[in-house]
Amino acid sequence: MNLQGRVALITGGAGHIGSAIGDGLAELGAAVAILDMKADECETAANRLRETYAVDALAVPADLNDEAAVRAAPGQVVTRFDRLDILVNCAGFGRAANLPGWVTPFEQQNADTWRKALEVNLTASFVLTQACTEALRASGHGSVVNISSIYGMVGPDMRLYEGTDRGNPAAYAASKGALLQMTRWLATVLAPDIRVNAITPGGVWRNQPQEFLDRYNSRTPLGRMATEEDIKGAAAYLASDLSAYVTGHNLVIDGGWTAW
């Protein structure tokens, strides 16, 4: 697998999963543009890729709520690298988002937070993919990888969260489920020039409370939560020509969670 000469744009590239995906693509020789909200974190992530993997990297700070900034991002990448081959839509509101009416019982979740979550988790991916289409088509190797979640496929088992400060917002599930359908839609509409696939991780280890971890592990055939290392290889596969005949696919990395 070789990505020498390819250029990737990763939203949420300074976060845990986005950073791991950036590592995976850079290890294979790709230049990487990091799109994230905070300029200092973007630059730190880009510098780390340059120093660790001896590849070119670009910081593209942008707020995914700002449509003009999102639409401008691909132009910055093409100006710097003269091409764009891979788009990874990884950014989004997760469990840790500090929003009112987010990780609360359903009756307390509010419509304003619902709208904000869909804007970042879903609409921004639509806007950015649309803005990247011309460059991805011109590359001859265009690949879009959307990062979804098992909660875009199945309902939550709320017993996991009992006695913890954890929860499972409706907007998160709805946005991730819609992202999977958008993946299928784009795969047929943008074919044959651009491949569009999704990765659906299970729960990722983030120092969760022990009671949650025990319940989650017992509910998972492989007996553990996911790590970033579990995800980055899948992203590299879908980004590369090893998956040249794969589009509209949802690659589930959940330790068997959804196989029960």
CB–CB of 29/3 below 8 Å? yes
User: pLDDT at residue 96 above 60?
Assistant: no
CB–CB of 125/89 below 8 Å? yes
**Residue 2 belongs to some domain of the structure:** no
pLDDT confidence of 101, banded at 50, 70, 90? confident
User: pLDDT at residue 94 above 90?
Assistant: no
Question: pLDDT tens digits for 123-174?
Answer: 999 999 999 999 999 999 999 999 999 999 999 999 999 999 888 999 999 9
Q: State how far the Cα of 160 lies from the Cα of 102, in Å rounded to an integer.
A: 17
Structure tokens given for 24: 């995976």
**Residue 1 belongs to some domain of the structure:** no
Domain count for the chain, please give it: 1
Question: pLDDT tens digits for 202-216?
Answer: 999 999 999 999 999
Question: pLDDT tens digits for 53-63?
Answer: 999 999 999 99
CATH number, domain of 183, equals 3.40.50.720
Q: State how far the Cα of 258 lies from the Cα of 260, in Å rounded to an integer.
A: 6
pLDDT confidence of 187, banded at 50, 70, 90? very high
pLDDT at residue 92, as a whole number: 83
User: pLDDT at residue 250 above 60?
Assistant: yes
**Residue 243 belongs to some domain of the structure:** yes
The catalytic site residues sit at 172
**Residue 195 belongs to some domain of the structure:** yes
pTM of the predicted protein model: 0.96
**Residue 145 belongs to some domain of the structure:** yes
Residue found by looking up tokens 């649309």 in the block: 130
Q: Which domain holds residue 198?
A: 7-259
Q: How far is CA 90 from CA 77, 110, 182, 183, in A?
A: 17, 24, 14, 13
